[in-house]
Amino acid sequence: MKFVIKAAAAAGLLALGACGGNADDKAADNIEAAADNQADTLEAQADNAQNGQVEDALEDQADAVRENGHDLADKADDNDDARVEQQATNHM
């Protein structure tokens, strides 16, 4: 009987471990979406720029924002901690 209880508890913990990243997955998605929105705005500004150098600088900045957002989203997902979302959005 004790073996059955232990086996059931272990199975329950495995199930929780397998799906436990849901909150951090949502946080990672939110981080990446915020970065994409910011980068889209920069790209729109680049499209409206009258100067080629300004356009290139804005495009480069948009690329950096996207990359940073991707890295921060990976960090949030890897940490399995949704609180990282708030910290990450403060650094964008």
> Which tens digit of pLDDT belongs to each residue from 10-51?
444 444 444 445 666 888 889 999 999 999 999 999 999 999
Say what the pLDDT of residue 89 is. Answer: 55
b (16+ CB within 10 A) / e for 27-40: bbebbbebbeebbe
pLDDT of residue 60: 97
Spell out the domain ranges in the chain: 22-90
C-alpha 55/C-alpha 40 separation (Å) is 13
Nearest to 30 by CA among 91, 80, 82, 79: 82
* The pLDDT of residue 2: 46
pLDDT at residue 66 tops 60: yes
Nearest C-alpha neighbor of 89 from the set 49, 29, 40, 48 = 29
* Longest pairwise C-alpha distance within the chain: 77
